[in-house]
């Protein structure tokens, strides 16, 4: 039987406290990753104490190795604050343990103190050990004035700067903190071009200062901005009404069924990072456009699902909202499957064909859902030689379905 409790001691930036010394002294064995060994030794100002505990230290390679240990409580040493993208957070998620944490300073605290930034104003992001995602970087940078980023030797400041440059965020100021609290500590303020050529020391931490925060549009995309095929796109006016009728939460799972080029899903994904949007599309050519749009607008929370509805539904997390934009000729089957999914609270569907609209209206009415229907007639101004006229667009029928 494995341990029931883990005590995680953060080290690295300040001398060990009396409480931490007592924990380490009483431990039968002290587990840590190899990179933390230097931090632990640095924290031991009393060299006799270091000699006392050094024989107890055992290096591990994977978190899962801790499950096999017999000590209870399990004493683990981690760098900095173990709950700042660290081992404490991993243990809480992955192991069925009671976790007790005694933190040191986090690299974010040290960096903010060095630069004079209030720590509560900094949004944090980590690419340490998990690969670099430029969509995620730009998505969060658009929404925050200050963005702190935990790096590693591969996902470093040069990679970040290159992504900023390519996404036209070239006015962002890059605050680079190298080897904080070490004798060779260095703090630099760089622009994108300078950072792309910079050779940073390891470890290093980055804070991005976006002085254009809040100035760039994040909602209401124009049809001309979205990659689509020959006008096959939910028009601006219809999209606005459909999204309004979805009564979106701040956090949840949204299905965009028959997504096409993804215009509705793109808008929804841009509204909140806590929304997971699944754009379901069976045509490969449309999925290609979906992918181009996802990359163009930097939307990591938009997931592209290539496949036919309703068959793909079983592999997706249960939805809180559903937008139905296309059925691929399987409307009855899709509606029957959706009716049996109990989690969604609101469904919105758009139609150009009366037969599909009335079928869906009758289906949900017969099964005692609350339904609300609208017909949207849009006329757009167009030039006619030297004069103007309003040209009617195809009418669109919108159906809002709510659970009773």
Segment 62-109, tens digit of pLDDT: 888 887 888 888 999 999 999 999 888 888 887 777 899 999 999 999
Q: Which residue has the tokens 């956090």?
A: 251
Between CA 404 and CA 402 the distance in angstroms is 6
Residue-wise DSSP of 313-372: GGGSPPPSEEEE---TT-HHHHHHHHHT--S-SEEEEEESSHHHHHHHHHHHHHTT-EEE
Dihedral sign, Cα of residue 229, residue 234, residue 235, residue 236: negative
pLDDT at 386 over 70: yes
The residue that leads in pLDDT, 66 or 126, is: 126
Instruction: Report pLDDT for 1.
Output: 60
Taking Cα atoms as reference points, which of 272, 167, 161, 147 lies closest to residue 210? Answer: 147
Between 236-245 and 263-271, two packed helices, what is the crossing angle to 10 degrees? 50
- Say if CB 19 and CB 48 are below 8 A apart: no
User: What pLDDT sits at residue 380?
Assistant: 87
pLDDT at 134: 92
Check pLDDT > 80 for residue 366.
yes
The chain-wide mean pLDDT, for the chain, equals 92
Higher confidence at residue 336 or residue 93? 336
CB 282 within 8 A of CB 308: yes
pLDDT at 385: 83
The residue behind tokens 């215009």 is 263
Query: How high is the pLDDT of residue 335?
Result: 97
Residue 338 has pLDDT above 90, yes or no: yes
DSSP string, 360-392: HHHHHHHTT-EEEEEEE--EEEEEETTEEEEEE
pLDDT the model gives residue 219:
78
Q: Which run of H or of E encompasses 163?
A: helix 157-166
Going along 51-209, which residue ranges are E strands?
Answer: 57-59, 74-79, 98-102, 122-126, 146-150, 173-178, 186-190, 204-209
Position 110 confidence tier, pLDDT thresholds 50, 70, 90: very high
Cα dist from 247 to 104, 241, 242, 244, whole Å? 43, 11, 9, 6
Of the candidates 365, 344, 369, 352, which has an alpha carbon nearest to the alpha carbon of residue 246? 344
What is the percentage of the chain residues whose pLDDT exceeds 90?
72
**Mean predicted confidence (pLDDT) in 113-128:** 96
* C-alpha dihedral, 49 to 50 to 56 to 57, nearest 10°: 150
Q: Which residue has the higher pLDDT, 4 or 138?
A: 138
* pTM of the predicted structure, to 2 decimals: 0.80
Q: Is the peptide bond before 310 cis (omega within 30 degrees of 0)?
A: yes
363 has a pLDDT exceeding 70: yes
Express each pLDDT in 246-284 by its tens digit: 999 999 999 999 998 889 999 999 999 899 999 999 999
Average confidence (pLDDT) over 129-140: 90
CA distance 366 to 358: 12
Q: How far apart (Å, rounded) are the C-alpha atoms in residues 109 and 256?
A: 40
């Amino acid at each position: 039987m494995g341990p029931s409790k883990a005590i995680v001691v953060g080290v690295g930036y300040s001398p060990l406290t009396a409480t931490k010394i007592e924990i380490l002294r009483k431990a039968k064995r002290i587990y840590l990753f190899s990179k933390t060994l230097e931090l632990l030794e640095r924290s031991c100002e009393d060299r006799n104490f270091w000699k006392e505990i050094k024989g107890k230290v055992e290096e591990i390679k994977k978190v899962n190795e801790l499950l096999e240990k017999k000590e209870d409580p399990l004493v683990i040493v981690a760098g900095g604050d173990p709950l700042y993208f660290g081992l404490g957070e991993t243990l809480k998620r992955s192991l069925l343990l009671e976790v007790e944490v005694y933190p040191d300073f986090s690299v974010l605290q040290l960096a903010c103190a060095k630069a004079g930034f209030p720590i509560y104003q900094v949004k944090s992001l980590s690419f340490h050990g998990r690969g670099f995602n430029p969509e995620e970087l730009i998505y969060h940078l658009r929404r925050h004035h200050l963005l702190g980023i935990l790096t590693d030797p591969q996902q470093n400041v040069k990679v970040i700067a290159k992504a900023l440059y390519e996404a036209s965020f070239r006015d962002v100021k890059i605050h680079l903190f190298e080897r904080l609290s070490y004798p060779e500590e260095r703090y630099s303020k760089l622009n994108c071009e300078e950072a792309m050529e910079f050779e940073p020391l390891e470890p290093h931490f980055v804070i991005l200062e976006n002085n254009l925060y809040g100035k760039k549009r994040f909602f209401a995309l124009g049809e001309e901005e979205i990659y689509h095929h020959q006008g096959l796109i939910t028009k601006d006016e219809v999209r606005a009404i459909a999204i309004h009728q979805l009564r979106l939460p701040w956090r949840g799972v949204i299905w965009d069924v028959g997504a096409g080029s993804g215009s509705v899903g793109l808008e929804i994904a841009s509204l909140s990072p806590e929304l997971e949007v699944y754009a379901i599309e069976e045509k490969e050519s449309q999925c290609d456009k979906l992918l181009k749009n996802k990359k163009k607008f930097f939307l990591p929370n938009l997931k592209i699902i290539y496949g036919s509805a309703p068959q793909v539904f079983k592999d997706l997390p249960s939805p809180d909202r559903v937008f139905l934009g296309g059925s691929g000729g399987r409307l009855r089957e899709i509606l029957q499957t959706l009716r049996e999914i109990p989690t969604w609270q609101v469904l919105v569907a758009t139609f150009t064909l009366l037969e599909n609209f009335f079928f869906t209206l009758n289906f949900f009415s017969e099964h005692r859902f609350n339904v609300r229907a609208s017909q949207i007639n849009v006329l757009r101004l167009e030039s006619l030689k030297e004069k103007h006229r309003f040209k009617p667009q195809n009418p669109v029928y919108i159906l809002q379905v709510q659970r009773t």
